[in-house]
Homo-oligomer: A and B are copies of this chain.
Amino acid sequence: MTDRPRAPVSAGLRRDLEILELLARPEHASGGLGVSRIAELLGREKSQVSRALKALESEGMADRDPESLEYRLGWRLYALAARTAEARLTHLAAPYLRRLVAALNETTHLCVLRGSGVLTLLSVSPTHAFRGLGWEGVTVPVPMTSAGRVLLSDWAPDTLRAWMASWLKESPMPGHPRQRPPDIDYLLREIAMIRKRGFAAVDEEFEPGLVGVSAPIRDFRGGIIAAINVSAPKGRLGGHLDEAGRRTLAVARELSAKLGYHPETRPH
């Protein structure tokens, strides 16, 4: 307020995205939301929300049910999303994940590093599972998950320390308050092991009773762009976690090859 030297703010964009993010929350996605409720949840003036939503609707970013006057996400968002790099990767990866599911009979995920979290792009579940649906589009903390560690595993140690320090500052563990992140040296040792054997395994570090393995996906440039993850209750997968890791790694290597990766193309 006093001496902001230059405030490169884009208030409108942030407001619009807050609204869209709210519409995307799973608990609202099915029903839709009205103006007043959105304004209340966001702590904004309903007049602003009304005008913003009208604009969003006229641009196709939100749809409105003419009867109930409730808003939901619009067609244009989906059209745009189809063109992202993530969509292409997801599409290529789907058959590989299905093969892994057929082999292991456990749910598999395709994950990427997004900002300060691990974003799940795609989940594929075996026949006996209730339903995937849970994790797509959701982010989980990086350092406690096998997928997150794999995604960090080609970084230099000092880069990693710096990243981890800033991550700790900005990530107050929303939703998982009891979890404490691992200390950095432990993480570095884990990552060294990941590089050695090619895949990561975690045993109840992220969720009690849950184990998981992950292996990296590389593209033609040689860097890690994504991870394939398998997660399951410890009772089912705990006994043969190592074998699951090797199979995951094998599938990840095939997908990497499909993306143009050659093992000698390692990054600098």
Contact = CB atoms under 8 A, between A and B. Distances in A.
A265 B221 contact: no
A102 interface: yes
Interface in A184-209: none
A99 B157 CA distance: 10
Given A12-B12, A30-B90, A170-B128, A119 B81 contact: no
B84 A21 contact: no
A159 B86 contact: no
Interface stretch (A37-45, A49-57, A229-237, A241-249): A49-57
A1 interface: no
A95 B131 contact: no
Contacts of A262: 79, 82-83
A173 interface: no
A87 B119 contact: no
Interface string A155-183: 11011001100110011000000000000
B99 A115 contact: no
A214 to B, nearest CB: 19
A2 interface: no
A256 to B, nearest CB: 10
A54 B82 CA distance: 22
B222 A79 contact: no
Which of A87, A114, A156, A171 lies at the interface centre, i.e. has the most chain B CB atoms within 10 A of its CB? A87
Nearest to A171: B127
Which are the 7 A-B pairs with shortest beta-carbon distances?
A78-B260, A102-B162, A83-B137, A81-B81, A10-B55, A82-B137, A29-B87
Interface of A: 8, 10, 12-14, 16-17, 20-21, 23-26, 29-30, 32, 51-52, 54-56, 59-61, 63, 72-88, 90-92, 94-95, 98-99, 102-103, 105, 112, 114-116, 119, 121-122, 126-131, 133, 136-139, 155-156, 158-159, 162-163, 166-167, 170-171, 219-223, 258-262, 265-267
